[in-house]
Homo-oligomer: A and B are copies of this chain.
Amino acid sequence: MFVRMVKAATAEQLSAVRERAVAAGLAVYEEQGSTGSTLAILGPSGASAALEQEFGALAGVASVSRATRPYRLASREFRETPTVVKVRDAVIGGGTLTLMAGPCSIESREQLFEVAQGVADAGATLLRGGAFKPRTSPYAFQGLGLDGLRLLAEARERTGLPIITEVMEPAQVDMVSEFADVLQVGTRNMQNFSLLNAVGRTRMPVMLKRGLSGTIEEWLLAAEYILAAGNTQVILCERGIRTFETAARNTLDLNAVPILRKLTHLPVIVDPSHATGKRWMVAPMSYAGVAAGADGIMVEVHPKPEEAWSDGEQSLTIPMFQRLAGELRSIHTLVTPLHNDPGAAGASPSKK
């Protein structure tokens, strides 16, 4: 249940609510909004009418309500204001345009540094690069591993760009956290609950990609695992779903962007590279993603896509990314007021 405190509620009043919840065996999460704090009081057994009444009678409590969605902390019901994730000097969400760019796999110092410098010059805000690669076949290149992480850290030093890279299992979380600025949970691991718990126990920003057949509700419940473990720094990434259509690799589900803006306060990134698998689709689908209201784009960039060890078909060259970055900034500047203006046709419903 959600307990909303009055704006003038005292620390003692807040403590009293917390203590009562803990005594009932429930977990408490606090969110400070502009009109006062909201407490999410959660437990396996759910809310009881008696408890609700009891909380409602405590001093400083403005109202008590039940969650209407299965996810709680990820919901706009708990937190109305968009979450802004801070990653070193970069900011994700909150009206900014995030541009994550870099190679699918880190292949060598030369390859990584060339891309890193190129995308930094073009205005990328984060550097992406795969060190641990989840591959469908056990015989495919599985990534440089720890060596790749070290190269990423070096690339960060040279360019100043924070880095995002994938973590594939709980036992890797500590090691990857040492090097990365944002931990990526990949598509195939959207419901790897052990991994979600593990990244939730860190205080690192986490980008959670949607599973190939993950519903939006399941995706938000997966984010809820991370949030419930105490980590509020969660970013969602739409990267295409699996449908009957085979003309592109997957079907980029841009419907998800306005739906997520309505349901959750978490920032939303769109990955057109993996969703389409085709270089010539990356720019139009990036335009569309930003126009739909996404907080940013993740794209693959390779100095020589035709020689890439993985996913070369979908990688942009550095000059293509440079051009795209400028184009996306123009589109973002144009559409941001449309999404935020309460009277606009496309305004986020939560703003109305």
Task: Name A residues whose Cβ lies closer than 8 Å to a Cβ of B.
Answer: 42-44, 46, 70-72, 134-141, 168-172, 188-189, 191-195, 211-213, 215-218, 221, 224-225, 228, 241-248, 251-259, 261-262, 275-276, 280-293, 316, 320-321, 323-324, 327, 330-331, 334-335, 338-339, 343-347, 349
Contact = CB atoms under 8 A, between A and B. Distances in A.
Contacts of A327: 338, 344-346
Given A284-B257, A287-B346, A192 B192 contact: yes
A343 to B, nearest CB: 7
Task: Determine how many copies of this chain the complex contains.
Answer: 4
A321 B345 CA distance: 7
Contacts of A343: 323
A176 to B, nearest CB: 13
Nearest to A344: B323
Contacts of A252: 254-255
Pairs of residues from A and B, 5 with the lowest C-beta to C-beta distance, nearest first: A283-B346, A213-B213, A291-B291, A169-B194, A283-B345
Contact of A242 (B134, B140, B213, B321): B213
Given A194-B168, A224-B137, A251 B248 contact: no
25 contacts: A70-B137, A136-B191, A138-B221, A169-B169, A170-B171, A212-B213, A213-B242, A213-B244, A241-B244, A243-B244, A254-B288, A283-B345, A284-B339, A284-B346, A286-B346, A287-B293, A287-B338, A287-B346, A288-B291, A291-B292, A316-B345, A321-B345, A327-B338, A327-B344, A327-B345
Contact of A345 (B72, B172, B211, B323): B323
Contact of A251 (B44, B212, B251, B331): B251
A160 B138 CA distance: 37
Contacts of A334: 330-331, 334
Given A134-B193, A213-B244, A262-B280, 17 more contacts: A43-B139, A134-B191, A138-B221, A138-B224, A169-B169, A171-B171, A213-B242, A215-B246, A243-B253, A247-B259, A251-B251, A259-B281, A282-B345, A283-B345, A288-B291, A291-B292, A323-B345
Contacts of A228: 138-139
Nearest to A327: B338
A20 to B, nearest CB: 19
A215 B188 CA distance: 13
Given A169-B170, A291-B291, A285 B254 contact: yes
A137 B169 contact: no
Contact of A247 (B46, B72, B215, B276): B215
Contact of A139 (B42, B256, B276, B287): B42
Contacts of A349: 280
Contacts of A172: 194
Nearest to A324: B345
A298 B350 CA distance: 25
A117 B296 CA distance: 39
A137 B244 contact: no
Contacts of A212: 213
A191 to B, nearest CB: 4
Given A191-B134, A248-B259, A288-B292, A283 B344 contact: yes
